[in-house]
Amino acid sequence: MTVQLTDVSPVKIFYSELLPHRSQSKETSLTVVLLYTMSMTTKTWERTNTPGLLQQAGYRVLCIHLPVIAGNEQEPSYPLKGAILADTLKQLNALDCILVAPSKTGSYALPVVVRGGYSISAFIAISPSDSHRFTRREYQILKTPTLILYGSIDKPSSAIALENLQHIPNKEVVEVHDAGHNCYVDNPDAFHDILLKYLATVAKRRNNIS
């Protein structure tokens, strides 16, 4: 898929999609978006079987690679990243998704969640980068339900993300035991247990509202 932004070279987006095995019900008719960048591959998620478990649980799953301007091996500049992700979600009919953003993908996800004005169903932040680019006030007025995950033996740099994101009012903060920066890889069983329980609460809340 190609995203064409004004005055910008076309941006190539690679993604994979899994549809639920069973017919979607109101409880599970949600899209979960797993982001990754050049520092990851789809096999990072596949190795943990995260997409497959979500598919079995009845969710539509999108794995989106947020990479490069066509013909260029460098990432787009920061101001463009939010626009690229937002346009991608629009084209994939996923603007009301649950957005899972680990590490460097935070530079794409946070502009959409904090400043995009979209009705994201929930945000799952796994030590995301670039959290310092937003003010405390912006976090304080954010209404998107947010799950903040971090590894118990993560490096100190991730403490910055935790310090900034703690100002989000509608949040849960969960430590993944025996895991480092990539807690979803280091301890996938614990990660999946936390993830699936949180998704169930989001689905239940959405069903009650509808």
Radius of gyration of the chain from its Cα atoms, rounded to whole angstroms: 16
Q: Tell me if residue 154 is catalytic.
A: yes
The torsion angles phi and psi of 188, rounded to 5 degrees, stand at -65, -35
- Tokens representing 127 are 């030590």
Report angle CA 131, 174, 161 to the nearest 5 degrees.
Answer: 15
Which one of 103, 107, 121, 127 is the catalytic residue? 103
Q: Tell me, yes or no, if 103 is annotated catalytic.
A: yes
Instruction: Identify the CA nearest to 149 among candidates 131, 121, 171, 119.
Output: 171
Q: Which two tokens stand for residue 82?
A: 């939010």
* Bridge partner list, 102: 126
Judging by DSSP bridges, how do beta strands 2-3 and 11-12 pair with one another? Answer: antiparallel
Q: Catalytic: which of 65, 107, 154, 158?
A: 154
29, 167, 181, 192: the catalytic one is 181
What's the CA gap between 158 and 151, in Å, rounded? 9
Task: Report, as residue numbers or ranges, the catalytic residues.
Answer: 103, 154, 181
